[in-house]
């Protein structure tokens, strides 16, 4: 059905004038959301649906929660930026979109039901609220990881962005489910305010609750409520992601022992502080980090290493404000900076990179071919260094002018280039 609707929309866009499309777009999205939920029999009413939103950490928390619920014995499905999974069956998300519209999520929930699932985890973005894709999800629970400055142009202002996130919280408030649990970050003023929502249970989480916190290149260790947790995901921010997962899992009856065991068995999350290792004598990391705060957090996780950093600025035509700031952060934290292409869309990719250099005092390497930029980073790396490749994560394409999609994978390219370096010496 998703493909049929997509084909129809493609044809209609060709024959209906753009001003008319803009005028009726809200009606179209709302009507379609209702229609498609009805076509599939409102499947969310028969599942325990956990939503996850926030500026960063959504996909990692989704994977963590997927692991804990399955460890507790629940048949669970997952719809995230990274992948779609129903139990053991999984396929990558190639839409370059977190929460698909046109009935896709309703169809996926129906498939999950038929496969015997009782629980489902859904990533929800602020963008999706503009097309009412969050309608009829009938949430039982919601995690709000954090809110940072992002998508400002898309929502008109930071307050507009916060309002979009609040809309997702209201989805939980209005859910038909009896048990409605909200877990939100107490350390962020905007998300802390969400804890006043009219739900069955509002639970805050804060880094102050993490005891004996230790972080190294291989992961994070901490204690919570007399239980020890070991994560194989580097960065203190992953301890925060784990804490959000713990709080929600506990609220739905999963024991701390089960949660701790599940998280210790989660060895990696694709595109999220993902280590690429083919035997080289330096660390290589692929990460989605696309905001100033997430970039700082990632660089800080490898503070004891000499860092070679490859980055660009995701999204031509949007979030222009952060370009010089991202360049400045890279210059501050990295020993070598290589600026490159990411997703220029219809904007000149070199102009995007030039905007990034405005925040820098020292001229970085500028290599617009992303593969060559990664190759250059490896040529600069010495034993014990860390090469950090950010901005794409698991994104399957580089989006160029007129919607052209160039197939891409930072992890695959990194692995191939590393193998080419090592092979001659084997």
Measured between alpha carbons, how far is residue 168 from residues 120, 124, 158, 191, 421 in Å?
17, 8, 16, 12, 47
Q: Which residues contact 93 (CB under 8 A, 6 or more apart)?
A: 80, 81, 82, 83, 84, 394, 396
pLDDT given at position 6? 73
What mean pLDDT do residues 59-74 have?
A: 98
Can you tell me the distance from the alpha carbon of 77 to that of 112, in angstroms, rounded to the nearest whole number? 6
Q: Which residue has the higher pLDDT, 154 or 3?
A: 154
Q: Where are the domains of the chain?
A: 17-264, 274-425
Length of the chain: 426
pLDDT given at position 26? 81
> Spelled out in words, what is the top-level CATH class assigned to the domain 274-425?
alpha beta
SS (H, E, C) 219-244: EEEEEECCEEEEECCCCHHHHHHHHH
What mean pLDDT do residues 275-283 have?
A: 97
Q: Please give the structure tokens belonging to residue 22.
A: 């803009």
Contacts 24+ apart (CB under 8 A), 87-96: 87/115, 87/117, 89/115, 92/394, 92/396, 93/394, 93/396, 94/396, 96/395, 96/396, 96/397, 96/399, 96/405
pLDDT given at position 424? 52
Phi first, then psi: give them for residue 258, nearest 5 degrees.
Answer: -65, -40
pLDDT given at position 317? 66
Can you tell me the distance from the alpha carbon of 179 to that of 242, in angstroms, rounded to the nearest whole number? 22
> Helix, strand, coil % (nearest 5) of the chain?
45, 20, 35
Say yes or no to pLDDT of 426 above 60.
no
Say yes or no to pLDDT of 83 above 50.
yes
The Cα angle at residue 393 between residues 418 and 352, in degrees rounded to 5: 100
Q: Which residue has the higher pLDDT, 254 or 317?
A: 254
Beta bridge partners of residue 67, listed in sequence order = none
Q: Average per-residue pLDDT in the chain?
A: 93
* Three-state DSSP class for residue 209: helix
Q: What percent of the chain has pLDDT over 90?
A: 84
pLDDT given at position 12? 60
Q: How many CB atoms lie within 10 A of CB 190?
A: 19
pLDDT given at position 22? 62
Q: What is the DSSP letter of 355?
A: H
Band (223; pLDDT cuts 50, 70, 90): very high
pLDDT given at position 422? 83
pLDDT given at position 425? 47
Can you tell me the distance from the alpha carbon of 125 to that of 133, in angstroms, rounded to the nearest whole number? 9
Measured between alpha carbons, how far is residue 362 from residues 336, 338, 353 in Å?
10, 12, 14
Can you tell me the distance from the alpha carbon of 327 to that of 333, in angstroms, rounded to the nearest whole number? 10
The per-residue DSSP string of 148-161 comes to -S--HHHHSSHHHH
The owner of tokens 């990274």 is: 82
Band (197; pLDDT cuts 50, 70, 90): very high
Q: Please give the structure tokens belonging to residue 311.
A: 């980055």
Band (101; pLDDT cuts 50, 70, 90): confident
Please give the model's pTM, rounded to 2 decimal places: 0.93
pLDDT given at position 153? 77
Read off the pLDDT of residues 328-386 as tens digits, 9 standing for 90 and up.
Answer: 999 999 999 999 999 999 999 999 999 999 989 999 999 999 999 999 999 999 999 99
Band (9; pLDDT cuts 50, 70, 90): low
Say yes or no to pLDDT of 10 above 70.
no
> Spelled out in words, what is the top-level CATH class assigned to the domain 17-264?
alpha beta
Read off the pLDDT of residues 104-154 as tens digits, 9 standing for 90 and up.
Answer: 999 999 999 999 999 999 999 999 998 999 999 999 999 999 999 887 878
Can you tell me the distance from the alpha carbon of 248 to that of 14, in angstroms, rounded to the nearest whole number? 45
């Amino acid at each position: 059905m998703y493909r049929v609707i997509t084909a129809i929309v493609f044809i209609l866009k060709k024959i209906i004038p753009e001003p008319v499309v803009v005028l009726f777009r809200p009606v179209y999205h709302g009507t379609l959301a209702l229609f498609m939920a009805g076509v599939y029999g409102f499947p969310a009413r028969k599942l325990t649906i956990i939503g996850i939103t926030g500026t960063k950490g959504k996909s990692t928390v989704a994977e963590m929660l997927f692991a804990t619920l399955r460890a507790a014995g629940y048949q669970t499905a997952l719809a995230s930026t990274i992948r779609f999974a129903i139990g053991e069956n999984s396929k990558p998300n190639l839409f370059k979109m977190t929460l698909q519209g046109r009935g896709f999520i309703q169809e996926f929930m129906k498939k999950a039901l038929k496969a015997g699932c009782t629980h489902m985890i859904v990533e929800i973005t602020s963008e999706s609220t503009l097309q009412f894709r969050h309608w009829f999800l009938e949430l039982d629970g919601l995690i709000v990881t954090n809110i940072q400055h992002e998508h400002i142009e898309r929502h008109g202002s930071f307050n507009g962005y916060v309002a979009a996130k609040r809309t997702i919280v209201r989805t939980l408030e209005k859910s038909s489910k009896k048990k409605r649990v909200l877990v939100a970050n107490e350390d962020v003023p905007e998300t802390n305010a969400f804890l006043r929502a009219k739900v069955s249970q509002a639970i805050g989480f804060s880094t102050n609750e993490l005891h004996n916190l230790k972080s190294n290149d291989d992961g994070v260790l901490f204690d919570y409520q007399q239980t020890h947790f070991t994560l194989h995901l580097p960065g203190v921010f992953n301890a925060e992601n784990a804490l959000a997962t713990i709080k929600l899992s506990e609220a739905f009856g999963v024991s701390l022992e089960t949660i701790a065991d599940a998280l210790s068995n989660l060895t990696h999350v694709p595109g999220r502080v993902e280590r690429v290792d083919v035997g080289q004598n330096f660390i290589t990391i692929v990460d989605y980090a696309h905001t100033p705060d997430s970039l700082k957090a990632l660089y800080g996780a490898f503070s004891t290493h000499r860092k070679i950093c490859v980055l660009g600025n995701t999204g031509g035509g949007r979030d222009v404000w952060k370009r010089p700031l991202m360049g400045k952060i890279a210059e501050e934290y990295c020993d070598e900076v290589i600026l490159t292409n990411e997703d220029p869309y219809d904007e000149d990719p070199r102009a995007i990179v030039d905007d990034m250099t405005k925040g820098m005092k020292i001229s970085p390497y500028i290599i617009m071919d992303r593969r060559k930029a990664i190759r250059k980073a490896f040529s600069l790396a010495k034993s014990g260094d860390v090469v950090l490749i950010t901005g794409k994560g698991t994104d399957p394409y580089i989006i160029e002018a007129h919607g052209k999609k160039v197939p891409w994978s930072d992890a695959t390219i990194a692995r191939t280039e590393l193998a080419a370096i090592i092979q001659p010496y084997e």
